[in-house]
A and B are shown apart, each in its own frame.
Chain A
Amino acid sequence: MFGDSSVYSRKATLSLKISEFEVPPMQDLLIIGRKAPIGPEAVRRMAEALSPEQFTLLKIDHPKIEAVLLRNSLLQMMDEKLLMKIILEESERMISESMVLRSELKIALSVQREVDLL
């Protein structure tokens, strides 16, 4: 008989991180590359399922970008063409065809008025 003093064991260590799931997870806008793993229709369906009637998908004619998902409230505050021009100008420098970019876009209105005193 062999005296075997070694003990064989298998253990697993679990690490759990819990945080709040932000709804919706896509913030204000998503910029979808032409060869991204998730396409515009899937993004539209996802947005519609998570936040019904709060996002609009705009398909565009661009060599790298296929579409942009925008929060409707942004479109109510700013002209669509102007907004898209700014988004494309800024994002096309860093996006590749296979990427989906997420962006936060806040619009702050700054007003200064001068009035005559009575």
Chain B
Amino acid sequence: MNISEIMIPTIHSISSDKSVSHAARLMSQYQMDSLVVIDHGELVGLVTSRDVLTAHPNRIVADAMCNQMHYLLADQNIWEAHHYFLNENVKLAIVLDEEQVSGMITKETVEMKIAEYKDPLSGLYRAPYIQFIGESYLRKQIPFHLLFIDLNDFGRINKQYGHPFGDDVIRTYSAVLSSIAEDQGDHLCRYAGDEFVLISTAPIALIEQYIDLISRPTNVLDITVSAAVGHVNGCEDPDFFKRSWRELIAQASLESSAIKAQKTASALPS
């Protein structure tokens, strides 16, 4: 989803020589929390309701506005906006479309939209998040490891213990995976029902430890849970950046399916 789809498209402006009390009146009239400050056709600042509340009403807007403006592009996606707001520690940005001001966007709006992409059961982001990270790394040519983690026999757990217990297993297992991902600043999502995707830029030795740890049968809520892990190593594949996100995720998921099938076959009596 692009910023242009959730931004405030209407912009109201004021000149910097107007009073703060006039700015407050305009904000009330337009029911806006901020006004862009334009002098002689040039954007010079932004005055918010907070500025208006803290400055003396007799002051001119130039003495109350913030002239360090933050810009986002209309075609950037909400994940980029989310990262931008977190990194810059700002609450509002002006949206530009072909170098023209086309709207405004608040951190709050972005966070509300991002929350829709969070899985309520596990608290992890869903597939669009990891896709954004993966595509962003591919675009910036940052090599990474892609792990596709598929729980083994999850259908059996649901059938044997009931779906609420299955939900508990997903929740607990997600917390275990999160603790691994958080340690390295990696990116994790719940891709689908019992499937998770991890993107990591950690060294291969650590990735091998991850795979070993995740593949090994683990006690979760007094039952044994294991997972099949498909791995795409972007650090060794010379054509890695020529491939699409879709191709990479397909390869990793097929690999995890193959591992799962292999384990099932070896468990069958010969």
**Residue in contact with B56 in the complex, picked from A37, A40, A41, A45, CB distance below 8 Å:** A37
By CB atoms of chain B within 10 A, which of A40, A42, A45 has the most?
A42
**Residue in contact with A38 in the complex, picked from B16, B17, B58, CB distance below 8 Å:** B58
Bound-complex Cα distance A98 to B64 (A): 15
Q: Is the interface of A mostly helix, strand, loop or mixed?
A: loop
Bound-complex Cα distance A37 to B63 (A): 10
Count residues of chain B with CB under 8 A from any CB of chain A: 10
Contact B56 A35 (CB under 8 A): yes
| A45 neighbours in B (Cβ, 8 Å) | 17, 60, 62
B38 close to A (CB within 8 Å): no
Bound-complex Cα distance A42 to B63 (A): 7
A75 close to B (CB within 8 Å): no
| B64 neighbours in A (Cβ, 8 Å) | 39
A36 close to B (CB within 8 Å): yes
Contact B56 A42 (CB under 8 A): no
Q: Which A residue sits closest to B16, measured CB to CB?
A: A41
| B58 neighbours in A (Cβ, 8 Å) | 37-38
Bound-complex Cα distance A85 to B147 (A): 62
Contact with A along B36-76 (1 / 0, CB 8 A): 00000000000000000001101110111000000000000
| B62 neighbours in A (Cβ, 8 Å) | 39, 41-42, 45
By CB atoms of chain A within 10 A, which of B55, B58, B60, B63 has the most?
B63
| A39 neighbours in B (Cβ, 8 Å) | 55-56, 59-60, 62-64
**What is A's interface to B at a CB cutoff of 8 Å?**
35-42, 45, 98
